[in-house]
Every structure is written in C-alpha cells, then in structure tokens.
A and B are shown apart, each in its own frame.
Chain A
Amino acid sequence: MRRTLFALLGTAALLLGLAGPSLAFEPVNVVHTEKVQAGPYNLTVGFSTWPVKAMQSLDFTFVPEDGIADKKGTLTMVWGGELMDDSPLARHPRKREVWGLDIYALPAPGEWTLRFDLDGPAGPATGELKNLKVMEQPGPPMGLSWAISTIPLFGLIAFIVVAWRRTRHADR
C-alpha cells in the first residue's frame, strides 16, 4: 500500500515537473493586416491566418498607430446585420502591448463588420472594418462531426436498453 502511494506521488511529481518547462505558448504571428480609420485614430487590424474561415480560430490584433496606453474602446461584431458580440477592447494575452482576441473563431461564413468605438486624447471616434469575408468552415459537415462525437452517448443508451431488458422481470 505504501509503495503504491509512493509510486503515485512520484508520478504526480513527474507530471508537475514536466508541466512547467513544456509550457511554451505560441507567439502571435500576424500574416495579414487591414487598416481602419476611426476619426483621428489610425488602427491596424492583424490576422494570424488569412483568409478567415468560419469556426477556424485565429489571433486578432488591434493596434492604434501610437499605441494603446492612453486609449480605451469597444469592439462590436456584426454578421449580416445581426449583433454577434460587443465587448471592451482588451490586451491580447500573448501580446500585451496591443489589443486583441486570442484563438478566437468567427462562427459563421459571410460578410462580417468589425466596429471600433475608440476614446483617447483626441476624443471619441468610430471606425469600421466592413465586408470582412469569412469563408465556409473547413473539415466535414457539422452533422457528421456531431454524429462521430456522440457515439459514446448512443453506446451508453444501447447499454442501458440491454440492462433494462435484462432486469425488467426481476423488479416485480
């Protein structure tokens, strides 16, 4: 029993020890940029993959020409006239000197608009990145992906049905 406990503790220590050095987070690589003019503010929108595909996650960066230090703002995402998201501009977790979205996916294909409401030393202003084309999702249709992923559920249901039939007469 004691030996088993030591073996378990040793394994846990090994796991914990390995978790530290193996944590190497991917840098944010911008491969495409678009310019947005929001009043007096010149904003560069960066994408880590291009073209953008539905459901495929990527890093977005939003960089005002003279930095984010004295500014704040809101990002509003619109898809086909429908408001999809509305949140304050936050620093990118892996690139803290700029605003951004990390490993973020736009859920649907079509035309997207990113609206930026900025406020800084030159006052409030609004700018839009219009007609951002998002391609169809990669990979198999979602129906097939869901069918594959719910096999454990249907397996469990099949098991329950068998168990139900075998115990049906034993209850009464």
Chain B
Amino acid sequence: MKHILTICLAALFLAACETVVEVKLPPHEERLVVHSLFEPDSLWRVNVSATTSSTGAQDPRLIDDATVEIWEGERLIDRLSPIGLGTFTSTTSRPAPEKMYTVRVTAPGFAVSEGAGAVPPAARVTAFEQHLVEEIASETFVQRTERIELTVDDPADARNYYGLQILQSRRLINNETGEITILPQSNLRFVSNDPALGEPDVFGAEKTQYKEAIFNDDLFNGRPHTFDFEIEYALSLRETEVTIERSFLVVFMAVSEDYFLYGKTVTLQNSTGDNPFAEPVHVHSNMTGGLGIFAGYRTEAFPVKINGVTEPRP
C-alpha cells in the first residue's frame, strides 16, 4: 500500500508546477557537529564538522583545527589527535564500561560544544543457535537460508536498548594471480517477524527486512527473549577466475538511550525526507552548544557457521 499511495502522491506531484521561492531564513551561524559512537573495544574516535545553511552552494565542512578532549568528571582522560577529514583519535585510551564521559570540543569561531555519554552494561546473551532452513544447489553455487535464534536475558531494573546487525566480510581471490582483495565490511539484510525488533514492514509482509535493527525492551522487559531471524546467502561452488570467500558475523549490541534515539531519528528523517506532507523529524542530539551525538555501546559477536565450519572472525 505504501507504493500505491506513493504512486498517487507522485501523480499529484507530477501535476504540480515547481518554482523557486525565496525563503527568508535567518543568517546562518555555523555550529559544531560532533559525532562519536564509542565502545570499549575501540580507541576513542570523534568526528567534527560544521553545519551549513540549508540553502546555497556550500557543503558542510569538516573541521580539522578543533580541540577535542575526553573528560571523566573533573579529570582529563585524553586530548585526541587529528588524523584528517575531521577525525580525531586517541592512540592509547579506550572508554571503560559504565563510566560517564564528557567530550568537549572547541574550535576557532565556534561556541564550545559538550556532550556526555557512557557505555551501557553488556547484553546478557545466553544462547545462539543456527539452523539450516533451505538449501538450493546448482552446479555453480548454493543458496542457503539460515535461521538464527539468539536469546537475551533482559534485566528488569531499567529500560534497556539494543541493536542487531549482520556484518558480511568478503575476500576476492584471483585464482590466476593469487591476488587477494578485501572488500569493506557491509551489512547483510535479515528478515524477521519479531515485533520486538520494531519498525515492522509498512503493510502486508509477514516478515520485515532489516539492515540494522535498533530497539528497546518494551516487549520483553525483565525476562528472556529469543530473537528469531533469517539470512540468505549464496556460495560459489565452482572455481572461476575469482573465488569469493564470505563470512558473516551476527553482532548484538547493548546501546545507550542517546544512541537509540539518534539511530531512530536518523532512520525516520531519511525515510520521511521525500514526503512533503510528513512532519519533519529532528535528529536527536545530546550535544550542547552544537549538534551531534556522543553515545556508547557494547557488542557481542557470533560468527555464522558455513559448511559446518566456523569462519574465523575477520
């Protein structure tokens, strides 16, 4: 139905005439935009850029001459170093779980921007099972559908937030030259009819397709819950010029509330941006004096067995 409505709306739009209009926006004052999603397994990393006016030709710019500091209370933990493209990293320090940190960013010509966040407690994953649902084989490839069941024991003390994604890694091996090309990690889509994952399909489909699911524990607060979802993938059987080696990692995340709100609002804004009749969505920000997100998360990763063999974690 979403498509039918889109077609009707499109018909209206096609009938419409477009003209450029001048809208008197107030003079734009640049603000810092700070982006940092941090976890205990990675060094501190913060991206800094600036806003730009919604009209005009100027793109938002990356800021390389900022000062980025990580504080824990009154104690300065680290001053991050610029590595270019608006990115600042630490060479030594990582966030510790369940400790509140503050990021403070200053740059010439900008107001100070600050935000606070912490890495939440780890999710209690108590079981991970994988079952082959279907396998269709031909001479050259096999296509598999795997069902994965992941059980989480949700604590009852507070509202918790989680994320789920499947990471796919691929290596291309040139069979003649032996050259190996490692492709960037990407998300493998998965399908599920579990309402706990949120964002159900607009209409009709029994199962919803996800690239990444971010959700809260409203439907399973304080008790164990088994997430049930399926993935599909194809494996090459016959060697041709290039062999593709694949591996998959199920990543279950515990995320902070700010992370959850940020992820939700970004998704909403992207999905409603083309609809002029939808109410605009503000992207969640926990930065004062600017925009952006400073939020923590933790991951539990589970490799997917292929051909009965667990592929090593890339």
A binds B: no
Instruction: Give the interface of A toward B (CB within 8 A).
Output: none
Instruction: Give the interface of B toward A (CB within 8 A).
Output: none
